[in-house]
Amino acid sequence: MNDESVPQRERDAVLRDLFTGTSDPGVLAAMALQLSDENQSRIARSIANNSVPVSAEERVSRNLAAFDALPGYLKPLVALNDTVRLMADGATLGYSDKFAARMNSLISGSNYEEELAAERARTQDALDRAGPAGTAAEALGAYLSGRGLGEAGITLSGRFGTATMEGLSGLLARTGLMGAEGAAYGGVEAAGRDESIVSGVASGALWGAGNQFLKEGSIVVHDQLPGWLGGRSKSLRRKWEKEYNLDWPRDPDTGWYMDLHHKQPKSLGGTDDVWNYGPLSKADHFKHHKEQGHFKMWGSWSRGKRGLKP
């Protein structure tokens, strides 16, 4: 099975014949475990010697064949173990393998680099077996870890007075801070996985800044979309017309329907009760809000709050 002169396709065919040639669960389990250990050993030696790694096709083929050969009662246990390993990998930004390798090295006296290569091979095997679910497990681990740090106050979000900054300057300030935080996480993860720190910092910064920008943008769209589409105003106009048995007047200056004006702004506790709003020309509406300082209040959306238009 390890004769490199034999094409991989032929070795896979022999492997399938070996598995289908027996129906004894114990033999199948032993073969699967031996194949898994052999696969991890080969990957570990390849990584430790900085040689060309085992091909992805061969690695995945062997991992799936070994898993399929396991007795049914063992498969859920292996799947659970894979999920826990991958969540830990995501939560620790790749340092769980280093920690396990260091502990194994200290306890057994074995070589740390070989232990690390073996742990990383096991993590890769788990990812191969789990597929997209494995990627989701890693992402969940990273999310829970980041959320925990945020709740503990270990975050740049809202720091240095940016939480109260309004408008575009506030958006850019918060986006920049989260970009810096993302860069830090990216650098730490790259170091944990022994990858390019420069690339890790760059991708982390892009992720952090982009996520913050999209987050605030989605809040604006969520709050303003009904107004942009006119759906909310239309329903309130119909409600007013039915209550007073009048047509909603048009603005003589623009020819369009008059603005819908709340006497008590919604941002100050006003409601959509028909007695709290009525028609007002665009010019008078603008003048009123300018005099009351409401335009400044609308900037509250940039602080992450769902501000409401008066």
Least confident of 83-92, 141-150, 222-231, 278-287: 222-231
Least confident of 2-16, 108-122, 132-146: 2-16
- CA dist 225 and 301 (Å) reads 14
> Confidence class of residue 302 from pLDDT cuts 50, 70 and 90?
very low
Supply the DSSP string of 216-279, one letter for each residue.
Answer: HHHHHHHHHHHHHHTHHHHHHHHHHHHHHT-PPPBPTTTSSBPEEEESS-GGGT----GGGEEE
Please name which of 205, 156, 212 lies closest in space to residue 183, comparing C-alpha atoms. 205
Q: Residue 253: what pLDDT? A: 86
> Which one has a higher pLDDT value, 114 or 37?
114
Mean local confidence (pLDDT), 192-196 = 90
Encode pLDDT of 237-254 as tens digits: 889 999 999 999 998 888
Least confident of 20-24, 53-57, 204-208: 20-24
Mean local confidence (pLDDT), 205-227 = 74
> Confidence class of residue 52 from pLDDT cuts 50, 70 and 90?
very low
CB atoms under 10 Å from CB of 72, counted, come to: 7
Q: Which two structure tokens, joined as six digits, stand for 310? A: 């008066």
Encode pLDDT of 19-48 as tens digits: 555 555 555 555 555 555 555 555 444 444
CB atoms under 10 Å from CB of 106, counted, come to: 11
> Confidence class of residue 303 from pLDDT cuts 50, 70 and 90?
very low
Instruction: Reply yes or no on whether the pLDDT at 4 is more than 70.
Output: no
- CA dist 279 and 284 (Å) reads 10
Q: Residue 1: what pLDDT? A: 47
